[in-house]
Each structure stands twice: as structure tokens, then as C-alpha cells.
Structure 1
Amino acid sequence: MSPGDGASNGGELAAAPRKGLPMEVKLVICVLGIYSCYMLSGLLQENIFRYRSEDGGRFSSTLFLLWVQCVVNVAFSFVAMFVNGRSGDKMPHHLFGTAGFAYIGAMVCSIEALKYVNFPTKELGKSCKMIPVMLFGVLFAKKQYSLQEYLCVALITVGIVTFNLSGKPHNKEDKENSTYGLGLLAFSLILDGVTGSAQERLKAACKPTVHEMMFFMNAWALAILSAAAYLSGQAVEGYAFCSANPSVMSYVLGFSLAAAFGQNFIYYTISNFNPLVCTTITTTRKFFTIVCSVIIFGHAIGPKQWGGVAMVFTGIGYEMRGKYQRHHAKNLKA
């Protein structure tokens, strides 16, 4: 239940479809909610790191930013637990600690990468979670995958390579920074896989509600971040920079609130439809976020790079098509 995406790990937490509004209306609510919240969150995140103060300073306190986000998530999920009730199961906090550590590590790497790569590159990279999932599955779980799945991963990989090699860095330092940023994105994807694995163990050990999962993961992440931000000095640095530049603080709060609301739209989607619908919405959202970022911030993306973007989302779409076919076949058998 990663805060940035959250679509891939919540299926087992889904409730039975609810009565009330027509399903078509619910789908519109889901699409508009996820699109608006995560597109706003992404654009505000880009604003935070593009901002320049009067003396040329820039925001660099990633741990402070994530600390604020976790505070908002903890507060939001606590209120939701109070309103909706709890499962009553005993929570295995050692597993929540592991999941929280991996989850916050993935977020740190993802946001740090934004200092070294542009936002479209970050969004494109974070769209490719099936690559580390398959890699971990083959190397450690000895899983077997279909030819279609291997072709999807190959197409996505070629698309990413095309996108990054077709860019035109302004100087040698830009190229080195870009390589470092891509490394951070890759490590973030690996930690996303660890987070998903930890969540599976959690759901096997107990039956937390979606907001219990959100609360305890963010509470552990908040404890880790509080210590890290204090010891690194980023807590003081981040607060001082935001105090001197109130517009940045508004971006930070807006980013955190939009992400928290976005998680709840994801839960709403899963509970009323299924994880495949949620994955489709969140994946197409990433594409439109890239387009909006290019339009609003004027990123220079050439035809070859757009070709790379097309290859990535074609591969993802082909993989989702296979999932829909398997899901449909399973329903027919049932």
C-alpha cells in the first residue's frame, strides 16, 4: 500500500461491492478522485523541488517532506479507524516495522531521485514495478512466467532505455546525475517489492482493515523518519526553509493531503470493483501526469523519448490485458 501508488498491494483487503450509487457513477468517482489527487500530488512535488528562494536556495530536506506526509497519513487513518471501527485482530508490530522501513526507504529513494532526473523520468520509472517483481520471483521464489509476461518486461525495458538514452543532457554533470537518479529509482522499485512482500506476510498473520494497514505502516515510518530527520538535521533545515518560504510549506501540505486522499480513493476503487480496475486507473494516470508535467513545466522531450514512453505503456497495457483475460477466465470457471 505504497502512498505513491497503492494499487498493487490492496486487493486482498477489498470488501464486498457496496450497494448505493450506480456502478457507472462509482467508476467516474474513482477515476476523477485518483486522477485529481495523484496528478495534483505529483505536480506539487515537482513544484517543491523546482522552487528557488530569493537567494537561489532550493528545498533539499526529503526526510522533512516525508515526515509531514506520514503525519498527515497517520492523522487521516486514525480518524478513519475511529469512524469505521477496527478489525479486533492483534497487530504483529514487528512485521509492520519491516514493512514501514521498506516503504519509507522506497519513498526516500523516489523523491531523492527527483533531484537528479526530471519528473517525467521519475513517473515513467515508477510505472515499471513488474520488472523487479518478476526478477525477485525468478531469482528467489522460483516462479515461472509466461512468454507474454517476458515480452512485456522486454518492451518496458527497451522503452525505458530509449527514453533515457534519447535525452540531451546539457553537460557531463547532468549525465552523471541522471545515472545516479536512475539508480535511486531502481532501488526504489526494489524496495517497493520488499514492501509488497512484507504486506503479504502481514495479511497472512492477521486481517487488518485498510485504514489499520495505513495507520500502523505510517506510524512505524513516522517513528523511523523522526529519528532520521532529527539526526541528519533535515528536520530543522526543512522547517527553517519552509518558514522562510511559506509557498513551499503550502506545497508540502498540499502534496501530503492530496496523497492521503488519493490512497482512500484507491481503497474505494478496490472495494467497489477489483484490483485490476484500480491498476488500470493508476497506470493511465501516470501517463497523463507525464503529459501535464511536460505542458506545465516545459520539459524538453523529443520524438524518440515519446516513442520510449509509448513502448513502456504499451508493455504495461499488454500485461494488464493478460490479467483481465485471466481474471475473466477465472470468473467463468466460478
Structure 2
Amino acid sequence: MSRSVIIEEAGGPEKMKLVEVEVGEPGPGEIRIRHKACGLNYIDVYQRTGLYPLPLPHALGMEAAGIVEAVGEGVTHLKEGDRAAYAAVPPGAYCDVRVMPAAQVCPLPDGISFEEAASIMLQGMTVEYLFHRTWPLEKGQTVLFHAAAGGVGLLACQWARSEGIELIGTAGTDAKCKLALEMGASHCINYRETDFVPEVKKITGDKGVDVVMDGVGKDTFDASLDCLKPLGMMMSFGNASGPVEPVSLLTLASKGSLKMTRTTLFTFLADHDRCQAMAKHLFEKVESGDVKVNIGQRFALEDIAEAHRALEARETTGSTIITL
């Protein structure tokens, strides 16, 4: 038996229930993994609220780390007793133990703890694909990154510094801006006190940035387009403030022949080999010291509703761990 967090209907944090479920043996292409720590991410909120609909009832949670207990037929990259971590579908990571598809579960190096792994798989591989697989970023280019003191943002600040990329961050308090700067941002703008568009133009000598990476969505999207230089790339990868309204192609033309993409991590992770390569790249960044894991807060599994409330209220910094 295992504890598991489920929803039977979409809604607020109170809709989540902690229940006991029976866990069986893995079938072909599956593993059974006993979790040591789970991660918390905004996609969990989207699924809970119904913005990203799930067939109900459904378990929640997208990332975790632990020890492989059993391996099904055809699984060759993992074995019983292996340390492993993942960000993967289907949701169901908020639990003690589960059976799941093995393809997107990745061997975890001994030098990275379970808590560290659970805090960086989804966020870290998001940064990996934004910087290396969406548009070819080069040393010396400039990036505007919103929510730079969040879990993804603090990893992006460090990643940018390690790649020689100038990252301009935004955050909602001076303390969060200070943290982003300490982690590698070249500049950070307190968007509650300063209009970030003229500030970005000032920092870039009125040229604008090469790329915007925006996980905030509705509140920042339109203004972000005004921060791009001609031929710049808008990467929208999240909706923390709500989904982005439809955009006219003529708007992109009038603002300088801009490019735009709406990405999701799980499109990149769907291919087994690419997923494993992305995780390996992330682990190399962590083990080299280029990227340091920042766990800002921890919540017990039975306090999952409180964790969701803190995340939605933007009261968290860095990554959040669910302890078991």
C-alpha cells in the first residue's frame, strides 16, 4: 500500500485528498520506485485547477527521486536497487511508491541527493531545453527571464552565467532580485516598483534582448514582446498568471519580425534518448558546481494543500520539496 494525493474534481488546494492505494508489480516497460522526496511545480497547480485537464479521479505530482524496487520486462537502463529520478507523465508523483513507465526515469548519480534531484528534474530540464533545444543561444547573447527568483529562474540564472549569457531577470521584491543576482543574473528588475520594458531598453542600450523566456504568461507576455530586438525569439513556457491571449501574426511583424514558440517540457522528454541526454546534461551541470540546487522550503506530504497555497501566492523561493 502507498499514500497518494488525488483529486476527484478540479478546484482549489482543498480538493486534494491523501488516500491509501494498492501498488502492484511493474509490467513490460515499467518500474516500481519507492520515493525519498517529491518535487512541487506550477504544472501541478494547472492540473489541479483543470487548466490542464486530467481524466478524474487522478493522482497528482510530476517529479520525484528514490530507489527502484522492481523492473518490468524490456527495461534495460535501470535495475533493482538503482537510485533514480524523473520528471514524467502520467502524474502521480505525490506518493510513497508507485508503478510507472520506465522510459523517462533516469539513473541518478551518487553525488546528487534525493532531495536535490527531486527539486531539479522538472525545473532543471526545463532550463536545459530552453537554453539548448528551443533556439540556439550563443555566448554573449541577452535573455530576459521572468520570475528569476523562482525554482526555474534561479537555475536559469546559474545556467546563463555558466554559458556566458547575459540574463536580465524580473522578480517581485528587492530580496528576490538580490537572490537572482547572487545566483548569476546580470541585472534584476523589481517589476512591482519599476516598469521592466524601459529598464530592459536602458540596460541593452535601446537594442532589446535576443530572447525572452516567460513562464508567467498573461501578466508579462505583451510587454515582453516590446523588450525583444528585431528578429528576437519569444519563448512562452508557462501560465503562472493565467493563459496568454491569442496573438496576431501581424503583431509579430510590426514589432520586428519576431519569432514565438509555446513550449512544453514533456514534448522534449517524450523521446527516451533525448530525455536521458537532457538529464545527463543537467546532472553534469550540478556535479561540476555550475548549478547549485536551492531548496527554499519543505512541506510534508500531508501538508500538500499548504504547499500549493504558498506556491500560488508567490511566497516560495527556489525549489520546494515534499517530504515523505
* TM-score in terms of structure 1 length: 0.25
Higher strand fraction: Structure 1 or Structure 2?
A: 2
**Structure with greater contact order relative to length (CA < 8 Å, sep ≥ 6):** 1
* TM-score in terms of structure 2 length: 0.25
